[in-house]
Amino acid sequence: MTQITMTRPDDWHLHLRDGAAMADVVAHSARVFGRAIVMPNLTPPVVTTDGALGYRRRILAALPAETTFEPLMTLYLTDRTPPAEIKMAVESGIVHGVKLYPAGATTNSEAGVTDIARVGEVLAVMAELGLPLQVHGEVTDPGVDLFDREAVFLERILAPIVEEHPGLKVVMEHVTTSEAVSFVENARDGVAATITPHHLLMNRNAIFSGGIRPHHYCLPVLKRERHRQALVRAATSGNARFFLGTDSAPHSVETKEAPCGCAGIYSAHAALELYAGVFEAAGALDRLEAFASFHGADYYQLPRNTGSITLVQKPWLVPPAYRFGESSLIPLSAGETVAWKIEEMDCH
Ligand code: DOR
Ligand code: ZN
């Protein structure tokens, strides 16, 4: 197959940042995706519905003219999120989930949850109102090896949440291990997962190939090849619990190429094209549409997009960098060739 036409996709996990930097990256997502779940880990984080409304307005104002991209907002869960905030969020109609960052787990997670016992009441209200919990699934215990943090999180934190709140919708974001894939496959209804292009494309050798590669550092960190293969199997399986979420996470080149560099891989410039390469290699291009355009919308109980998009096999060169506010960012596959290209969009 050298060409594929599919329903316009959505990105169910995206970092857009704010201000001038946001204006430089949002066009990449809006070019392809109909909607995106926008992560709330700004500084300071988006902890209220009011904050989400303001952030949404800024995103819409930064969109290029004639784009129809819709940002789907989220709230950042803290130890002190009041249950009444959840009610307001649902009533607003613009908040589609609440993000659980274990405090200290990743970029801008300092204000996150220090003890899951503190958010029991909020989770109960979310379950009652049908608002999904989006989970960064890594423990922060320094005694746990970095590469084991997701698997340990499943046992210590996620399994109890899923059991104690049987009505709660839970998305395990950016799964990286075969353990997480099995957990989601075998969990009760309402448990789903997003999968990034970088975790489908690379294993942990990519962080150290020929020297240290800060642009391949993200959290959860890339894992062994057998885990990557489990992710490819899950994404291409047709199982509706797995859907597209890029976790595209822009950082300036200076903050990545530093003695203590930031976690995050930028993929919004080529995300769908890279997923297409993964699905093609797995002989599953016919399943790309469901993964990218159906499963997430169905999970979030939103209508599927009506526009379409055509990808063709036509190699193109990824630029070495993109502008990012006052600075620049190095995208995934910078300077390399991507096999699939977007030929045509019909975003009605
Ligand atoms: O690599 C990551 N970058 N993982 C996260 O969880 C956060 C993200 C970011 O915001 O940069
Ligand atoms: Zn993320």
Q: What is the spatial distance between Cα 153 and Cα 348, in angstroms, rounded to a whole number?
A: 41
Probe target for ligand 1 pocket from 41, 136, 198, with the most ligand atoms within 8 Å of CB: 41
CB 24 within 8 A of CB 324: yes
Q: Determine the topology of domain 9-306 in CATH.
A: TIM Barrel (3.20.20)
Q: How large is the C-alpha radius of gyration of the chain?
A: 19
Cα 248 to middle of ligand 2, angstroms: 7
pLDDT in tens, 280-329: 999 999 999 999 999 999 999 999 999 999 999 999 999 999 999 999 99
Domain ranges of the chain: 9-306
Cα 2 to middle of ligand 1, angstroms: 34
Q: What is the spatial distance between Cα 188 and Cα 163, in angstroms, rounded to a whole number?
A: 9
Q: Using H for helix, E for strand and C for coil, what is the string for the chain?
A: CCEEEEECCCEEEECCCCHHHHHHHHHHHHHHCCEEEECCCCCCCCCCHHHHHHHHHHHHHHCCCCCCCEEEEEEECCCCCCHHHHHHHHHHCCEEEEEECECCCCCCCCCCECCHHHHHHHHHHHHHHCCCEEECCCCCCCCCCHHHHHHHHHHHHHHHHHHHCCCCCEEECCCCCHHHHHHHHHCCCCEEEEECHHHHHCCHHHHCCCCCCHHHCCCCCCCCHHHHHHHHHHHCCCCCCEEECCCECCCCHHHHCCCCCCCCCCCCCCHHHHHHHHHHHCCCHHHHHHHHHHHHHHHCCCCCCCCEEEEEEEEEECCCCEEECCEEECCCCCCCEEEEEEEEEECC
The pLDDT, as a whole number, for residue 106 is 87
Quick one: CA dihedral 227, 232, 234, 235, positive or negative?
A: positive
The burial of 268, by beta-carbon neighbours within 10 Å (0-12 exposed, 13-18 middle, 19 or more buried), is given as buried
Probe target for ligand 1 pocket from 176, 198, 218, with the most ligand atoms within 8 Å of CB: 218
Q: What is the spatial distance between Cα 23 and Cα 173, in angstroms, rounded to a whole number?
A: 25
Q: Is 134 in the pocket of ligand 1 (CB under 6 A)?
A: no
pLDDT in tens, 104-140: 988 899 999 999 999 999 999 999 999 999 999 999 9
Atom of ligand 1 nearest to the CA of 136: 6
Cα 247 to middle of ligand 2, angstroms: 5
- Which protein residue has the closest C-alpha to ligand 1 atom 4? 219
Q: Is 136 in the pocket of ligand 1 (CB under 6 A)?
A: yes
Cis, bond preceding 220 (omega within 30 deg of 0): yes
pLDDT in tens, 36-94: 999 999 999 999 999 999 999 999 999 999 899 999 999 999 999 999 999 999 999 99
**Structure tokens belonging to residue 16:** 């857009």
CB 60 within 8 A of CB 71: yes
Name the average pLDDT for the chain: 97
% of the chain surpassing 70 pLDDT: 99
